[in-house]
Amino acid sequence: MKRHLLTIATCAVIATASIQVNAVQNDNVNPFLVEYATEFEIPPFDQIKTEHYLPALVAGIEEQNREIEAIVNNPEEPTFENTILALDNSGQTINKVAYVFFALTESMSSPELQKVDEEFTPLLTKHSDEISMNDKLFERIKKVYDGRANHNYTTAQLRLIEDKYKSFTRNGALLDAEKKEELKNLNTELANLYLQFNKNLLSATNAFELVVEDPIKLLGLPASSIAVAAEEAKIRGKEGKWVFTLHAPSRLPLLQYAQNRELRQQMYEGYINLATEGENDNRPIINRIMQVRTKKAALLGFDNYAAYMTDKVMAKTPQAAKELLMKIWEPAIKKVEEEVAEMQSVVKEEGFDFEIAPWDYYYYAEKVRQKKYALDEDEVRQYFAVDNVVKGIFAMAERLYGITFRELPDAPKYHPEVKVYEVLDRDGKHVSVFMTDYFPRESKRQGAWMSEFKGSYIDENGNSIRPIIYNVGNFTKPTAETPSLLTLDEVETAFHEFGHGLHGMLTRAQYRGQAGTNVDRDFVELPSQIHEHWALAPELLQVYALHYQTGEVMPAELIKKLQDASTHNQGFATTELAGAALLDLYWNSTNFDGDVDVAEFEAKVAQELNMPEEVQFRYRSTYFKHIFGSDGYAAGYYTYLWAEVLDADGFELFVQNGIFDPATAKSFLENILEPGGSEDPMKLYIQFRGQEPNPDALLRNRGLLK
């Protein structure tokens, strides 16, 4: 599960009014400063230009400053409506422009956008700090918070009050003036460091190429991977050769299938040494990030940055997160020993005498899988054309939640490969807009994620304002001869991100700050991860797993092989994932007052964990964007496994009742997807499941518990 949920860290969410201030720039209307004239208020991407972002952000900041002043200067006693809700409703224009800007810097990056980002993000950070450290605003919030027991607030209102209060205290509201200024400076520096980390990572990724001139070196690779490499070479002016990149659809098939061991080693070492040299070296950036985080945590009264980050989520402490990970870690590394022994026997059978190295793991794991299960993933891919996978995802959503998807071919889109759909309920009523952007390009960062261009809420007249949600991936590209044929991992990723999408699309939370994925970070992966289980459900495979040439349904014997092999190599997968989560906690649980050797720090963590030599962390620090590219998952990468406890335990209820059981699906919809952050997440889970989650469910799901 290598997915990333992109969240826009602005201090408020979209409001209802529109402004015209500074709407005209150089005789052109700035599209962010007028109402979108498009259907469903989809951003008019063809009208948005680079020069529109900064003026729109400045105008949005001025607008929200006026809104904050109106709250602060209100002569009436602070109430939920005139303070908490008014703040939650402020910042329309900021969010309007930020949604688009951050979406495009992730998916359509360019030197021009990167240049704008050097001003955009620090300006946004500064504005957010000024709001969160506004003494008069906090005074009103505190009065509402202190008096909350004296009012008959709903659960959602109480949570919004408490969340706003905690957000302000966590962002320095209780500091004196001098320390507030220090915190602002630290936040600005962090924003700039994150920008540089991400810029280095994108540049380093795009700079790498593994050029193959001898076709003999390609033995073992699927024809589709060879074709993609040939097309990449042609694009790069190297026609007649083959070029492999670090993007997963290029990197992973080479590691999994290439018979040439030297080629595998070159690719593997290129990946694990990503962003470690020259002007794209992220090691100095990591050191400075950790030094600044150390200062910030101390300033806010926390022992370390991990304590600061986990204080606001279900885990509450880094110790609780680590305890969960260690329960998974020991069974995982024990399973790795078994897997390596099986692979080593294959090496011996082939007449070689080398020891399994990290660059051999994917290759020999695949050999073991073929030997044990006679499962050829290249054969499997023939049944996973991307359009059919999308149909399967939509069929799952229709059977579970009664929604259908109608493509809007003429809707605005930021790239020709984007597809846009209207989502409708059983009565044909509009639910949301959904967009997909599935293929890699140089302007797109690695990974897969979900976000939104418009949030959801209930307006003051009781109208349900519906969202615009999107999924982004980096799946195998189509070639001149074949459509995009997805690997099994890519199929599961598509289901995963669509689960996030459902959380955003189906939300019915009343308040913007609680809608959709605005939930505790270690709860947000539940909807995404639980929907992965349907990817290999025989009932659904029979609907969407169709051979791309013949249209025949995947044979029952091949489906059985997929089921039998579903826990294959889970020692490696779990160790890799849990190792990265533990590395994250080690980084952010340590205080830094000077530089450290990044590779040496990683090695010490691996040694302390007794990490198998054949397995590396899922992400080495220099390209661990989750934790060093922003605060999003800092001290929080563990949440994928934390949420897997929930999803594995929760899916067992579906298995017990039937995976498309209407009553179970209705309960999941009403207790998990619709409420968003309007209720305590554990309470919501228990309402759905009928019990607290059992951690053994995760071990059973991964085949680590016999």
List, in sequence order, every residue forming a beta bridge with 471; answer none if it has no partner.
436, 450
Distance CA 500, CA 433 (A): 14
CB contact set of 564 (below 8 Å; sequence gap of 6+): 373, 375
| Helix intervals (H) in 208-317 | 223-235, 248-257, 261-272, 283-299, 305-310
Location of structure tokens 């070479």: 233
Distance CA 129, CA 532 (A): 38
Name which of 435, 393, 453, 426 is nearest 31 in CA terms: 453
Distance CA 467, CA 651 (A): 27
Distance CA 531, CA 412 (A): 28
CB contact set of 578 (below 8 Å; sequence gap of 6+): 325, 328, 329, 332, 641
SS3 (DSSP) at 433: strand
Contact between 638 and 585 (Cβ < 8 Å) = yes
Provide the Cα torsion 439, 441, 444, 448; round to 10°: 20
SS3 (DSSP) at 285: helix
Distance CA 293, CA 194 (A): 12
Distance CA 649, CA 655 (A): 10
Contact between 190 and 222 (Cβ < 8 Å) = no
Distance CA 192, CA 190 (A): 5
Q: Is 600 known to be catalytic?
A: no
CB contact set of 86 (below 8 Å; sequence gap of 6+): 67, 70, 71
SS3 string, 395-430, reads HHHHHHHCCEEEECCCCCCCCCCCEEEEEECCCCCE
Name which of 657, 669, 643 is nearest 398 in CA terms: 669
Provide the Cα torsion 295, 297, 302, 308; round to 10°: -160
Contact between 201 and 625 (Cβ < 8 Å) = yes
**Catalytic site residue from 497, 532, 614, 644:** 497
CB contact set of 262 (below 8 Å; sequence gap of 6+): none
Location of structure tokens 């017990």: 656
Distances (CA, A) of 399 to 230, 392, 393, 402: 41, 11, 10, 6
Q: End-to-end distance of the chain based on CA atoms, in angstroms? A: 23
SS3 string, 568-611, reads CCHHHHHHHHHHHHHHHHHHHHCCCCCCCCHHHHHHHHHHHHCC
Distance CA 568, CA 570 (A): 6
Contact between 571 and 699 (Cβ < 8 Å) = no
| Catalytic positions, written as ranges | 497
